[in-house]
Amino acid sequence: MTHNLSSPISEEAVRKLKVGDQVLISGVVFTGRDAVHKYLHEGGTLPDGVNLDGGILYHCGPVVLKDDNGDWQVTAAGPTTSIREEPYQGDIMKQFGIRGVIGKGGMADKTLAACQEHGAVYLHAIGGAAQVLAECITRVRDVHMLEEFGSPEAVWELEVQDFPAVVTMDSHGGSLHKDVHAQSGDALAKRR
């Protein structure tokens, strides 16, 4: 089933999503990678104007260039591996009211528990499709913490239209990643 999501997203809308559902996201998405997660987890604050409540955090270090008019243009925006954020993600979801996290590779039990408790989902974006995903970005609204963290680790505020992803961890305790891991373990045990 395909769902159209517009950020900010309500808890009610998130609770309707199940593992395997496809989503098309429109609205504002914020990027955040290792440096931002560690900074926020250690008590750092978001810059003025950045509100993640009901929002989506994208594990992405986009390739962004300025055009001839001095405007930022995203040329590639593929997901980065999410498991690196596992020590921080659940706490950050709770603290900032995040309803969705986009990345690749999935996350683990702490994040899954936070999805259940706070009404959030993990959304898997297609790795290797960075240029195609960049076409879903209609505008760079702003960039935050660029000087502190550098371009890949900065918080990019992006407007997106019909950004595709798949729910692989839901707010009901479902995790495609856990299922695949268990099935792989079973298959491996049978081969021995």
Among all residues, which ones are annotated catalytic?
Answer: 37
Q: Alpha-carbon distance 151 to 174, whole Å?
A: 34
Instruction: Identify the burial level of 67 via C-beta atoms within 10 angstroms of its C-beta, where 0-12 means exposed, 13-18 middle and 19 or more buried.
Output: exposed
- Angle at CA 97, nearest 5°, toward 93 and 100? 65
CB 13, CB 167: distance < 8 Å:
no
- Angle at CA 166, nearest 5°, toward 86 and 122? 25
Q: Alpha-carbon distance 93 to 2, whole Å?
A: 24
> Which residue is associated with the tokens 């390739």?
63
Here the tokens at position 61 are 């270090």
Return the SS3 of 65.
strand
CB 175, CB 19: distance < 8 Å:
yes
